[in-house]
Amino acid sequence: MAFSIHTNHRVLFLLPAGIYLVLVYLCAVWPAMQEQAAMEKIPQPPENELVARGRELYGSFNCVTCHTQQIRGDERKASDNDGVRVVPVLEADARFGRELATRAEEYAWQAPVFMGTQRIGPDLSSTGRRLPEAQWHYWHLYDPQSVSPDSLMPPHRFLFTTEAPTGDAQYDYEEVQVIAGLGVSGGKLWAKPDAVALVEYLLSLNREYLETEGLGK
């Protein structure tokens, strides 16, 4: 009678609590530990201070609100390739230039992870491959509609200046090749250091490093 769940309040409390803790460990803690161990086996990307600064700006400007870095897969067409599960890109995401859906390994060493939630703008997970020219990104930041007429993105002209940088500062700026659609008075435009860093980050999203680790295209 001492161990009866019907009469012993201590057993009535401890038994369900114990079962709950075991289930939490088996269903959440243990899988998370396994996943973390798998992520740590992926070599850390080489450090680049300019890219790191650009990533910080990407987050602070809330670019993640409108842009994803997440290519969805079509599970209905998944296949097995030598023991590796391959999920092709969902047809709606094929325009972003990816041949395979995003995998968990791609987010290793990222904190925070910029997967995004809305596709108001295009996915940027491979923008460095689709749009490899820095000048295009400068034009797009200064006046998005000048190169993408249907773009809803607001201009980021605070990242630019029409005054020529002087002294040591000039090495942190980059001159922009002015095109007619920008409407720059005076015909001269320079990208400020933050613009240079942000574009460097966007160009780094080309999957070259991931492919060297065998994570697909």
pLDDT reported for residue 204: 92
Look at the chain and report how many structural domains it folds into.
3
Would the pTM count as exceeding 0.95?
Answer: no
* Statement to judge: residues 87 and 3 lie in one domain: no
In the prediction, which pLDDT does 210 show? 60
In this predicted model, what pLDDT tens digit does every residue of 70-106 receive, in sequence order?
999 888 888 887 777 788 889 889 888 888 788 877 8
Whole-angstrom Cα distance, residue 210 to residue 123?
17
Dist CA 107 CA 84 (whole Å): 18
| pLDDT digits 0-9 by tens, 148-164 | 999 999 999 999 999 98
Question: Are 117 and 134 in a shared domain?
Answer: no
**Mean pLDDT, to the nearest integer, of 122-135?**
93
159 and 211, same domain (yes or no): yes
Same-domain pairing of 27 and 108? no
> Domain residues for 212?
126-217
Same domain, 112 and 134: no
- One domain for residues 147 and 88: no
Residue 11: phi, psi to the nearest 5?
A: -65, -40
Assess whether 31 and 2 both reside in one domain: yes
Same structural domain, 194 and 217: yes
Residue with tokens 């090749």: 177
